[in-house]
């Protein structure tokens, strides 16, 4: 219920800025919310020593295009603090085909026409 109320959701800077060179691609706040609402609990909940009445957790949402992981602390009936969030696989966009591929005609350059 807390994840549905954006006013009860907080993000650390670490959660919003990820380093793709480490294989952890940044996610949007919307993706984090979707993970919290539709993902499964991977670790926890376990008592958190930094927030009073807090419970730390790791949640994961597995999808065809990417796996999203969110780790944070929930304080029941108060807030969810997202400590980190990332995609484990970068979304794979369709590449321009190699010459000779069957669907090459879909990729015409406007300058060539």
Give me the residue spans of the domains in the chain.
2-89
Look at residue 3 and tell me whether its pLDDT is greater than 80.
Answer: yes
* Dist. CA 26–CA 53, nearest whole Å: 29
- Give residue-wise pLDDT tens across range 52-111: 889 999 999 987 777 899 999 999 888 888 998 888 765 554 455 555 544 444 444 444
For the residues 2-16, what does the mean pLDDT come to?
A: 84
For the residues 4-23, what does the mean pLDDT come to?
A: 80
Residue 70: what pLDDT?
93
Look at residue 14 and tell me whether its pLDDT is greater than 90.
Answer: no
For the residues 30-55, what does the mean pLDDT come to?
A: 89
Residues 6+ apart with CB under 8 A from 26: 16, 17, 18, 20, 86, 87
At residue 95, φ and ψ (nearest 5 deg) are: -85, 155
């Amino acid at each position: 219920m807390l994840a549905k109320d954006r006013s009860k959701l907080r993000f650390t800077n670490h959660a919003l800025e990820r380093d793709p060179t480490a294989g952890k691609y940044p996610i949007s706040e919307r993706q984090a919310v979707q993970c919290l609402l539709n993902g499964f609990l991977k670790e926890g909940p376990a008592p958190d020593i930094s927030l009073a009445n807090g419970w730390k957790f790791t949640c994961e949402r597995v999808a065809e295009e990417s796996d999203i992981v969110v780790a944070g602390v929930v304080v029941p009936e108060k807030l969810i603090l997202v400590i980190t969030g990332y995609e484990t696989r970068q979304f794979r966009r369709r590449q321009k085909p190699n010459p000779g591929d069957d669907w090459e005609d879909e990729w015409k350059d406007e300058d060539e026409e």
